[in-house]
A and B are shown apart, each in its own frame.
Chain A
Amino acid sequence: MKRTHIIALLFIAVLVASLTAMLGKGFSRYDSFESSYAKKGKEFTVVGYLNKEKAIEYDPTIDPNKFSMYVIDERKVEKKVIVLKAKPRDIEKSEKIVITGKMKGDVFEANDILLKCPSKYKNREAQANNGNDI
């Protein structure tokens, strides 16, 4: 076997080892509030949607980098979520919310949030319907 081949194999070995190590523990997983409740202190990514009937609390005059809301996850469990960021625009319109963080007590504390707003397509169909001004 040639030296270059050995080195190439070594590279692959390091790559596989480090990636599996990362996958093993370092990374968060998509999951529900319940399982992040069971494993407190571990980081999870929860996919859910905003409970639009409950208020989003955001008072930038007190703290511009924090807001809270109620999120219902894919298993229909609702939790209060505190996000340590400024309230994103259009959160009220979002149809899906992806939050990353930990469960602290009965509150999910997120340090990252991603919004999925309704696809242009659906939104526009509604608009086209409203625009029948003939």
Chain B
Amino acid sequence: MNIHALGQHVLFGKVGHFLIILSFVSSLAACMAYYIATINRNDVIKSHPWISFGRKMYILHAVSVLGVLGSLLLIIHNHFFEYKYVWEHTSMSLPAYYQFSAMWSGQEGSTLLWMFWHGILGCVLIFKAREWESPVLTIVALAQVMLGSMLLGIYFFGYKLGSSPFALIKDTMDIPIYKMNPDWVPEDGTGLNPSLQNYWMVIHPPTLFLGFAACTIPAAFAIASLWVRNFTDWVKPVLPWSLFALMILGTGILMGGAWAYEALSFGGFWAWDPVENASLVPWLVLAAGIHTLMAYKHTGYSLHATYLFFIGSFLLVLYSSFLTKSGVLGDASVHSFTDMGMSGQLVVTLLVFIIPAVYLFVERMYKKQIPSKKEEEELSSREFWLFIGSLIFIFASVHIIVLTSFPVINKIFNSKLAPPSDIKSHYNNVQIWMAVLVALGSAATQFFKYKKSDTIKIIKQLVPVNILSVVLSIAAVVAYRLYSPAFILLVFCGFFSIFANTQYVFQVLKGKWKIAGGSVSHIGFAVMLIGILISQGRQEVLSVNKFGIDYGKGFSDKDIAENVLLYQNEPEQMGKYRVTYLGDSTSTQNIYFNVRYEELDKNGNVRNDFILHPNILFNSKMGNNPVPSTRKTLGSDLYTHITSAPLREDGSEVPSSTDETYTISVGDTITASRCMVVLEGINPDAEIKGFEKKPKDIAIGARMKYISLDTTYYIEPVYLVREVFATSIPAKVEDKNVSFSLVKILTEENKLQILVEQKLNKYIIMKAIRFPLINVLWLGCFIMVSGILMSILRRKRENRPD
């Protein structure tokens, strides 16, 4: 064993830990400096030095966070397994590019990533926020203080504050070996969770956390605006920031979906898993906030709602990190969360933001300082419908977050609520109506003008696109058999939104694409909805279990029998494909199962064929992990994953034959794999095919009835005694690869010993799902993100002072 010079490696951790403390102290200093600058904002001579000090501290903070990340990457890259984080998340065999995923696969690393983006965004704000710099950065720096405290890993009056990624195994785990050898270092790490070894995991977490960090900025502006009682000037600078957060967070969530689709065996891109929900809800609330902000910007309505939504979105981001990091979701999610004893700290973080935000909002509202209009919105005004639209977003969010919060509710009220067993359909059945309303609103609302509009004119305007949408929806409903009221309505509203928004761009905006960001993102959203509806609602499980063993009464849930068993080289018909498991091949870490799909035409000729390679990634320490394989075509995806295969723990294959001896008497039954054999009688003078008996020979036959699913045979293995030699002559059932021998006759007990030899075919149990039009879903995502990007550029142009 290679004994490192421990002292040298410990230096990295010492530097890293020092940088953590430095970043914590500097963020605290920046927060306080900006706070003092904000309360003295009317006195330039007093506030200016504080601003300048705050800036220096914040930049120092950002640089030290960068240093922490660098140190962490160094200890991971150099395989210093004496560090618990390195040991827990990496191993010698981990490819270099996954060292990045390893960096943020632990709680400490993901917090660090979040802080890194806050650091960058804060530095941008220093240069761009002008008069908003001090109040906004006070809040951003406060967020950094709270996050930074989670990495400290130092004891504070007996309470362990945070958990440092630079902790040594020696200091955190009580392992007896250190008593014998204090310099012991593990030779290898336990390795990165195999499901994280995917290229999406290299880019999804940084994007998602940039989205989370970006959500802080609109909330910081909102809180700042309440704080300094400037209720109007924050609108222009906050608009590009909130759109940026919407774009990045949306992209991050979708990348997570793509990862789940490609690397996890969820069987889809969205599983309504608590972790997914917790990141979707802040996005929905932020989207609501942007819409009410537009109403406020143009008419002065909906300011209260905007404050609530922007601040709410940020609080929900914090809440989601509480959900995922506190271990409270234990019984509700497939993700394994470990409680690191920081739930208290996470709750405090939430309160640190909730209490002042609620106080500022309520106090300003109570004193009627927040501007609001006395007169009512017109029913025919755009601001009215923007408000209604945002309420739908909120409605959807509350439904999702309440269900996701069951474990929290149970903890607080000591109740026993459990989510419904078919959680996916529950969410789908409720949320599809939200989608219908949102699509409808995103189509029609833009045709309403701010303040007041001519409703009759709008209806007339929209007649042609309505007709077009009806025609196309009928076509889509028939083509994809979407026969359910909700499906039909959603398809119609989706088409309506696509065409109405296109019409708006050309008719009202006169084809000026530079200002069409909103409409483009609405089109993208509608395309995405249609893609989701058809690819998920019309997904077709090809691998319906066809062995059709009777489930008995009550086992009528055939729809959950989604796995099928395939013997090697025995084709099965699945949907329009003939599917054959050809064999497998093993690489260093994976075993690939080659599954051939053949599409047959009416005459049984192969029209089209391809081979998929679903595989299993071995990991002796964390269990083997199936990796799906997907055939992508323009029209649909065919997704295949291995549910199980007869493998040993270490991944090696089980023996290919079995032999078992049964001692039975007449009338008894042997149950072997896929067949039953009944011993019907003993034949004292058996005939042997192709063998001439001599007079003194004794040939005893066991008359047996072989019953399998499709056939019945009569077989007779024989026990032959010639002089002093005894032989068994087995009876074979050729097409079933099984043979029976009579090996011993126990005359005293009146029993026979039968040896059953079975050649076991290799098999896999797999699941195959076809997702039609899934590319429409990805196209919609792309259009939506592009639309938001167009809006950001437009708002940035508008803000430019010239």
Which parts of A109-134 form the interface with B (CB within 8 Å)? 109, 111-112, 114, 116-117, 119-121, 123-125, 127-129, 131-134
A54 contacts the other chain (Cβ, under 8 Å)? no
Give the docked Cα–Cα distance between A115 and B105 (Å). Answer: 21
B418 pairs with A89, CB closer than 8 A = no
B421 pairs with A100, CB closer than 8 A = yes
A7 contacts the other chain (Cβ, under 8 Å)? yes
Which parts of A73-120 form the interface with B (CB within 8 Å)? 84-87, 89-90, 93, 96, 98, 100-101, 104, 109, 111-112, 114, 116-117, 119-120
Which residues from chain B contact A60 at a C-beta distance below 8 Å? 565, 644, 763, 765
Question: How many Å from the CB of A102 to the closest CB on chain B?
Answer: 9
Residue interface bits A36-48, CB-to-B below 8 A is 1, else 0: 0000000111010
Q: Which listed residue (A19, A28, A84) contacts B560, Cβ 8 A?
A: A84
Which residues from chain B contact A64 at a C-beta distance below 8 Å? 545, 547, 563-565, 643-644, 765
Q: Which listed residue (A31, A47, A63, A121) contacts B549, Cβ 8 A?
A: A63
Which residues from chain B contact A85 at a C-beta distance below 8 Å? 560
Residue interface bits B103-125, CB-to-A below 8 A is 1, else 0: 00000000000000000000000
Which parts of B547-593 form the interface with A (CB within 8 Å)? 547, 549, 551, 554-555, 557, 560-565
Residue interface bits B387-404, CB-to-A below 8 A is 1, else 0: 110010011001100100
Question: How many Å from the CB of A18 to the closest CB on chain B?
Answer: 8
Q: Which listed residue (A11, A47, A66, A132) contacts B395, Cβ 8 A?
A: A11
Give the docked Cα–Cα distance between A19 and B404 (Å). Answer: 13
Q: In terms of DSSP, what is the predominant structure of the interface of chain B?
A: loop
Which residues from chain B contact A133 at a C-beta distance below 8 Å? 1, 187
A4 pairs with B377, CB closer than 8 A = yes
B673 pairs with A89, CB closer than 8 A = no
Which residues from chain A contact B332 at a C-beta distance below 8 Å? 114
Q: Which listed residue (B334, B410, B674) contacts A61, Cβ 8 A?
A: B674
B623 pairs with A89, CB closer than 8 A = yes
Q: Which listed residue (A63, A101, A116, A128) contacts B173, Cβ 8 A?
A: A128
Which residues from chain A contact B410 at a C-beta distance below 8 Å? 30
Residue interface bits B661-676, CB-to-A below 8 A is 1, else 0: 0000000000001100
B561 pairs with A84, CB closer than 8 A = yes
A129 pairs with B176, CB closer than 8 A = yes
Residue interface bits B425-457, CB-to-A below 8 A is 1, else 0: 000000000000000000000000000000000
B418 pairs with A28, CB closer than 8 A = yes
B208 contacts the other chain (Cβ, under 8 Å)? no
Residue interface bits B159-200, CB-to-A below 8 A is 1, else 0: 000000000010001011100110010110010000000000
With A30-B417, A125-B173 as known contacts, state yes or no: A86 contacts B1, CB within 8 Å.
no
B384 contacts the other chain (Cβ, under 8 Å)? yes
Q: Which listed residue (B334, B551, B623) contacts A90, Cβ 8 A?
A: B623
Give the docked Cα–Cα distance between A60 and B624 (Å). Answer: 18
Residue of A nearest to B622 (CB): A120
Give the docked Cα–Cα distance between A80 and B609 (Å). Answer: 44
B177 pairs with A27, CB closer than 8 A = no
A86 pairs with B644, CB closer than 8 A = yes
B336 pairs with A116, CB closer than 8 A = yes
A66 pairs with B175, CB closer than 8 A = no
Give the docked Cα–Cα distance between A90 and B619 (Å). Answer: 12
B420 pairs with A26, CB closer than 8 A = yes
Which residues from chain B contact A98 at a C-beta distance below 8 Å? 331
B655 contacts the other chain (Cβ, under 8 Å)? no
A86 pairs with B643, CB closer than 8 A = yes
Q: In terms of DSSP, what is the predominant structure of the interface of chain A?
A: mixed
A134 pairs with B376, CB closer than 8 A = no
Give the docked Cα–Cα distance between A43 and B331 (Å). Answer: 17
A66 pairs with B387, CB closer than 8 A = no
B1 pairs with A117, CB closer than 8 A = no
Which residues from chain B contact A28 at a C-beta distance below 8 Å? 418-421
Which residues from chain B contact A7 at a C-beta distance below 8 Å? 388, 391
A55 contacts the other chain (Cβ, under 8 Å)? no
Which residues from chain A contact B565 at a C-beta distance below 8 Å? 60-61, 64
With A30-B331, A132-B177, A134-B184 as known contacts, state yes or no: A65 contacts B417, CB within 8 Å.
no
Q: Which listed residue (B336, B387, B417) contacts A119, Cβ 8 A?
A: B336
Residue interface bits B591-626, CB-to-A below 8 A is 1, else 0: 000000000000000000000000000000111100
B367 contacts the other chain (Cβ, under 8 Å)? no
B186 pairs with A128, CB closer than 8 A = yes
B395 pairs with A61, CB closer than 8 A = no
B330 contacts the other chain (Cβ, under 8 Å)? yes
Which residues from chain B contact A101 at a C-beta distance below 8 Å? 421
Which residues from chain B contact A116 at a C-beta distance below 8 Å? 330-331, 336
Give the docked Cα–Cα distance between A30 and B332 (Å). Answer: 11
A8 contacts the other chain (Cβ, under 8 Å)? yes
A3 pairs with B331, CB closer than 8 A = no
A4 pairs with B175, CB closer than 8 A = no
Give the docked Cα–Cα distance between A125 and B415 (Å). Answer: 34
With A45-B418, A104-B554, A132-B177 as known contacts, state yes or no: A127 contacts B674, CB within 8 Å.
no
Which parts of A1-53 form the interface with B (CB within 8 Å)? 2-4, 7-8, 11, 14-15, 19, 23, 26-31, 43-45, 47
B540 contacts the other chain (Cβ, under 8 Å)? no
A27 pairs with B418, CB closer than 8 A = yes
Question: How many Å from the CB of B396 to the closest CB on chain A?
Answer: 10
B88 contacts the other chain (Cβ, under 8 Å)? yes
Residue of A nearest to B421 (CB): A100
Residue of A nearest to B398 (CB): A15
Give the docked Cα–Cα distance between A31 and B418 (Å). Answer: 9
With A114-B334, A133-B1 as known contacts, state yes or no: A84 contacts B555, CB within 8 Å.
yes
Give the docked Cα–Cα distance between A2 and B376 (Å). Answer: 6
Give the docked Cα–Cα distance between A127 and B175 (Å). Answer: 10
With A23-B417, A30-B418, A119-B336 as known contacts, state yes or no: A109 contacts B554, CB within 8 Å.
yes
Give the docked Cα–Cα distance between A128 and B410 (Å). Answer: 36
A57 contacts the other chain (Cβ, under 8 Å)? no
Which residues from chain B contact A61 at a C-beta distance below 8 Å? 565, 673-674, 763
B799 contacts the other chain (Cβ, under 8 Å)? no
Give the docked Cα–Cα distance between A29 and B410 (Å). Answer: 10
Residue of B nearest to A65 (CB): B561
Which residues from chain B contact A3 at a C-beta distance below 8 Å? 376-377, 379, 384
With A65-B560, A66-B551, A109-B554 as known contacts, state yes or no: A87 contacts B763, CB within 8 Å.
no
B644 pairs with A11, CB closer than 8 A = no
Which residues from chain A contact B624 at a C-beta distance below 8 Å? 89
With A63-B547, A64-B563, A134-B1 as known contacts, state yes or no: A27 contacts B419, CB within 8 Å.
yes
Question: How many Å from the CB of A41 to the closest CB on chain B?
Answer: 10
Which residues from chain A contact B399 at a C-beta distance below 8 Å? 15, 19
A129 pairs with B549, CB closer than 8 A = no
Residue interface bits B315-336, CB-to-A below 8 A is 1, else 0: 0000000000000001110101
Question: How many Å from the CB of A127 to the closest CB on chain B?
Answer: 7
Which parts of B747-789 form the interface with A (CB within 8 Å)? 763, 765
B338 pairs with A121, CB closer than 8 A = yes
Residue of A nearest to B383 (CB): A4
B416 contacts the other chain (Cβ, under 8 Å)? yes
Which residues from chain A contact B622 at a C-beta distance below 8 Å? 120
Question: How many Å from the CB of B547 to the closest CB on chain A?
Answer: 7
Using a CB–CB cutoff of 8 Å, the interface residues on chain B facing chain A are: 1, 87-88, 169, 173, 175-177, 180-181, 184, 186-187, 190, 301, 330-332, 334, 336, 338, 376-377, 379, 384, 387-388, 391, 394-395, 398-399, 402, 410, 416-422, 545, 547, 549, 551, 554-555, 557, 560-565, 621-624, 643-644, 673-674, 763, 765
Using a CB–CB cutoff of 8 Å, the interface residues on chain A facing chain B are: 2-4, 7-8, 11, 14-15, 19, 23, 26-31, 43-45, 47, 59-66, 84-87, 89-90, 93, 96, 98, 100-101, 104, 109, 111-112, 114, 116-117, 119-121, 123-125, 127-129, 131-134
Q: Give me 26 A-to-B residue pairs in the complex whose CB atoms sit less than 8 angstroms apart, sorted by A's number.
A: A2-B376, A3-B376, A3-B384, A11-B394, A23-B417, A26-B420, A27-B418, A27-B420, A64-B547, A64-B565, A65-B560, A65-B562, A66-B551, A84-B555, A93-B623, A111-B557, A114-B331, A116-B336, A117-B623, A119-B336, A120-B88, A120-B338, A123-B621, A124-B88, A128-B177, A129-B175
